[in-house]
Structure 1
Amino acid sequence: MDKTFASAAAAVADIPRGATLTVGGFGLVGVPIVLIRALLEQGASELEVVSNNCGVDGWGLGVLLSSGRIRRIIASYIGENREFARQYLGGEVEVELTPQGTLAERMRAGGTGIPAFFTPAGVGTVVSEGGMPWRYSPDGSVAIVSPPKPTQRFDSLGESREYVLEHAIRSDFGLVRAARGDRHGNLVFEKSARNFNPLAAMAARVTIAEVDELVEPGELDPDEVHLPGIYVDRVIQLTPEQSAERPIEKTTVRSREGAR
């Protein structure tokens, strides 16, 4: 039952070329940066990544993207990553943009054995009707567009509404970041760092977690566990230096009254 690995390099060593990854994090919060860097060093390429966003230039998933390791991305937004935008518009990477709540539910569904579900999000837009650019050609023309999705009307609370069918997401590997974990893989996330991490873990066939603090089985109060160890296959403990790396995506400051 001891799921700990000696290093991030050992934990990601068998991720092959062309693997699909679900990766936790929102912006720069809760990002498994140590595992991402280990995967960069490992050399796997042609990856398909599922994550809320693709990091920023030079950090998070952005380091894999700038190195040309990512073939396709399923995400909610491009965000502040200029390299992401450049590669997408230049036809170097395929991008499937998905409503944020739908993306979360697609991963959760994948982790709970639900193959597909209906949602009102995106009905009447290119999300359901198709035509969203997935890949551009180098000349700027659209090479691949999203297909139309099945829709159906349902009566809910006395109201008839149209819903679109969305398919669950399952990945080969999941990379997540937690505040605390035990050797059985039970994880506790810190406040907003929980974000997409439990869902990315649930959707993966093999989940790898980096934790700030590693404790022995039984030390975590069962009521505090956010993700049970059944969803986690490998755990690595971060060093104090690795845990302390917590960049801020945007710093907003104001002058203090009376300050000079």
Structure 2
Amino acid sequence: MDKVVATAAEAVASVSDGASLAVGGFGLSGVPNVLIQAVYDSGVSGLGVVSNNCGAMESGLAVLLSAGRIARVTGSYVGENKEFARQYLSGELEVELIPQGTLAERLRAGGCGIPAFYTPAGVGTQVAEGGLPWRYAPDGTVALASPPKEVREFDGAEYVLERGIRTDVALVRAAKGDRHGNLVFNKSSRNFNPLAAMAGRVTVAEVEELVEPGALDPDEVHLPGIFVQHVLALTPEQAADKQIERRTVSAPTAQGQPAQTAVQASGQASARGTERD
């Protein structure tokens, strides 16, 4: 029952060339950076990645992407990752873009043993009808496009059939975990992490705080240990290493008090949330 491994290299030993990976995180929040770095250090390539986005600010999955180790991305958000966009548009990278809620449900369904489900998201668009560019040719033409999907009517409304996702390995980050693999996620890091963990046939969790079995109240467990095969305890330095994508600093007013717009306040709250998570 003790699932703790001594090193990150041991934790990701099951990741091989061409493996598929479900990776937790959203932007810079809840990203398993230590495990991703261990995958990079192992030298594997040709990876198929399922994640909301593919790294940001040259961290997270961007480390593998920039090194040319990723062959295919299934995700929802390109964002400001210019290297992601460059590789996709130049034909170096195959990309399947999915509505964010559909991606979340495909991961959850795969983890629950549900092979497929119907959703209204994407009906009447290329998501359902096919034709989304998955891979471009070097000359800019579409080398591979998405196929059409089954659409059925239920109670007078149309729904598109989406497949559940299973991957060879899942990499996630949790705020707290015990030796049996029970995990607790902090705030916004509880986004795609539990879903990615469910989708992996082998799931590896890096945890900021490792506790003994019984220390976690069952009611506070967000992901039961049945979904987790390996647990890596982070060092205090690794646990504290959290980036902030944008800092918003407001200029002082004449009275010396900071003036803040709603957008600035939202940005600061987001930055603080990311830092804590």
Helix, strand or coil: the match of 1:84?
helix
- 2:216 aligns with 220
- Cα-to-partner distance string for 1:94-142 (whole Å, 9 max, x where unaligned): 0000000000000000000100000000000010000000000111111
- 1:44 aligns with 44
In 2, Cα distance between equivalents of 1:250 and 1:48: 29
| Counterpart code for 1:239 | T
- For the pair 1:196 / 2:172, whether they are aligned, the reply is no
- For the pair 1:234 / 2:230, whether they are aligned, the reply is yes
| Counterpart code for 2:123 | V
Contact persistence 1:207–1:234 (CA under 8 A): yes
Distance apart, 1:33 and its partner CA? 0.2
In 2, Cα distance between equivalents of 1:142 and 1:60: 28
- 1:118 aligns with 118
| Counterpart code for 2:184 | V
| Counterpart code for 2:204 | I
Helix, strand or coil: the match of 1:86?
helix
| Counterpart code for 2:19 | A
- 1:29 aligns with 29
Which of 213, 230, 239 is the matching residue for 1:243? 239
- 1:127 aligns with 127
In 1, Cα distance between equivalents of 2:248 and 2:161: 40
Contact persistence 2:57–2:245 (CA under 8 A): no
* Gap runs ≥5 in structure 1: none
Distance apart, 1:143 and its partner CA? 0.4
Distance apart, 1:56 and its partner CA? 1.7
- 2:267 aligns with none
* Gap runs ≥5 in structure 2: 259-277
- 1:179 aligns with 175
In 2, Cα distance between equivalents of 1:108 and 1:253: 38
In 2, Cα distance between equivalents of 1:207 and 1:141: 37
Helix, strand or coil: the match of 2:201?
strand
In 2, Cα distance between equivalents of 1:97 and 1:73: 8
Question: What is the root-mean-square deviation in Å for CA atoms of aligned residues?
Answer: 1.0
Which of 145, 166, 171 is the matching residue for 1:170? 166
- For the pair 1:3 / 2:3, whether they are aligned, the reply is yes
TM value normalised by structure 1: 0.97
| Counterpart code for 2:101 | G
- For the pair 1:20 / 2:16, whether they are aligned, the reply is no
- Cα-to-partner distance string for 1:20-77 (whole Å, 9 max, x where unaligned): 0000000110000000001000011000000000012421100000000000000001
In 2, Cα distance between equivalents of 1:146 and 1:252: 40
- 1:253 aligns with 249
| Counterpart code for 1:53 | N
Change (3 A) 1:125 1:140: same
Distance apart, 1:248 and its partner CA? 1.1
| Counterpart code for 2:102 | T
- 1:141 aligns with 141
TM value normalised by structure 2: 0.91
Helix, strand or coil: the match of 1:56?
coil
In 2, Cα distance between equivalents of 1:233 and 1:247: 28
Contact persistence 1:47–1:71 (CA under 8 A): yes
- Cα-to-partner distance string for 1:161-211 (whole Å, 9 max, x where unaligned): 100000000000000000000000000000111100000000010000000
In 1, Cα distance between equivalents of 2:108 and 2:243: 28
Contact persistence 1:22–1:50 (CA under 8 A): yes
In 1, Cα distance between equivalents of 2:230 and 2:170: 10
- Cα-to-partner distance string for 1:145-167 (whole Å, 9 max, x where unaligned): 00000000001xxxx11000000
- For the pair 1:208 / 2:204, whether they are aligned, the reply is yes
- 1:81 aligns with 81
